[in-house]
């Protein structure tokens, strides 16, 4: 029996040897295809994840812009029977429950994405003085992408009517977008690309 097995092994050995290069080639093809799949898939995954992150960021910005103008509407309604905005500031908005309860967190006004807003007059959102017929909503510490997206966001006709100006302030200067001004409202896409700095941008919506 043992002798018969040895004879059989000798007979099929050439065929087995012939299969070895084929198997090696098949394995190499599989490895090559795997490498191609990986090389193609990785950039696609990066693109998909980048698009998802960008889309999520844009949804937050859209919602926050709506919140800013909703607060503006609430302020205007609260002061409708008053001669001006005297005394308006962030603390007053919170104490008088003018802002929606869901954005009042730890005695501050916090929008989605942990964006804090301040209400008052000027860069520091000081208390609005007597006779003032406008006020500001201020956001600090925006990066370039945020600065551009917030500033260039499309506004409804109603929102445009209440907006007097939008200012971009950073280390390189102060840029005020006004109706019919040098920097004109409404802000066109990419109009702020050279104005927004890489970091520490402040946006000020001046409203009536």
Cα–Cα distance measured from residue 205 to residue 208, given in angstroms and rounded to the nearest whole number: 10
Phi, psi (degrees; rounded to nearest 5) at 70:
-70, -40
The sheet with strand 135-142 has its strands ordered as 104-105, 108-111, 115-120, 135-142, 201-207, 163-170, 173-179, 183-185
What pLDDT, on the 0 to 100 scale, is given for residue 46? 44
Q: What is the pLDDT of residues 79-107, one digit of tens each?
A: 999 999 999 999 999 999 999 999 999 99
Q: What is the mean pLDDT of residues 169-179?
A: 98
Residue 172 has pLDDT above 80, yes or no: yes
What share of the chain has pLDDT > 90, as a percent? Answer: 73
Among all chains, which residue has been given the structure tokens 């000027």? 122
Q: What is the mean pLDDT of residues 126-139?
A: 97
What pLDDT, on the 0 to 100 scale, is given for residue 133? 96
What pLDDT, on the 0 to 100 scale, is given for residue 90? 98
**Whole-structure pTM value:** 0.75
SS3 content of the chain, % helix, strand, coil (to 5): 50, 25, 25
Using an 8 Å Cβ cutoff, are 187 and 152 in contact?
A: yes
Q: What is the mean pLDDT of residues 173-186?
A: 97
Q: What is the pLDDT of residues 31-85, one digit of tens each?
A: 655 566 555 554 444 443 443 445 689 999 999 999 999 999 999 999 999 999 9
What pLDDT, on the 0 to 100 scale, is given for residue 23? 58
3-class DSSP state of 1: coil
Quick one: pLDDT band at residue 20, thresholds 50, 70, 90? Answer: low
Q: What is the mean pLDDT of residues 158-169?
A: 97
Mean pLDDT of the chain: 86
Cα–Cα distance measured from residue 70 to residue 43, given in angstroms and rounded to the nearest whole number: 40
Using an 8 Å Cβ cutoff, are 150 and 113 in contact?
A: no
End-to-end CA distance of the chain: 104
In this predicted model, which residue has the larger pLDDT, 106 or 13?
A: 106
3-class DSSP state of 170: strand
């Amino acid at each position: 029996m043992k002798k018969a097995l040895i004879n059989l092994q000798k007979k099929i050995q050439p065929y087995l040897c012939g299969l070895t290069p084929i198997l090696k080639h098949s394995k190499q093809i599989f490895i090559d295809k795997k490498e191609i799949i990986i090389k193609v898939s990785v950039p696609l995954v990066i693109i998909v994840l980048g698009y998802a992150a960008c889309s999520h960021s844009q949804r937050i910005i859209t919602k926050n812009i709506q919140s800013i103008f909703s607060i503006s509407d609430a302020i205007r309604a609260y002061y409708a029977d008053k001669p001006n905005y005297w005394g308006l500031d962030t603390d007053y908005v919170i104490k008088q429950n003018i802002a929606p309860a869901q954005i009042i967190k730890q005695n501050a006004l916090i929008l989605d994405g942990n964006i804090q807003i301040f209400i008052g007059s000027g860069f520091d959102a000081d208390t609005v003085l007597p006779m003032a017929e406008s006020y500001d909503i201020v956001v600090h510490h925006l990066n370039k992408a945020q600065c551009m997206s917030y500033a260039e966001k499309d506004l409804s006709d109603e929102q445009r009517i209440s907006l007097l100006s939008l200012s971009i302030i950073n280390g390189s200067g102060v840029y005020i977008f006004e109706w019919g001004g040098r920097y004109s409202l409404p802000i066109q896409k990419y109009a702020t690309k050279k104005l927004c700095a890489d970091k520490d941008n402040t946006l000020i919506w001046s409203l009536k």
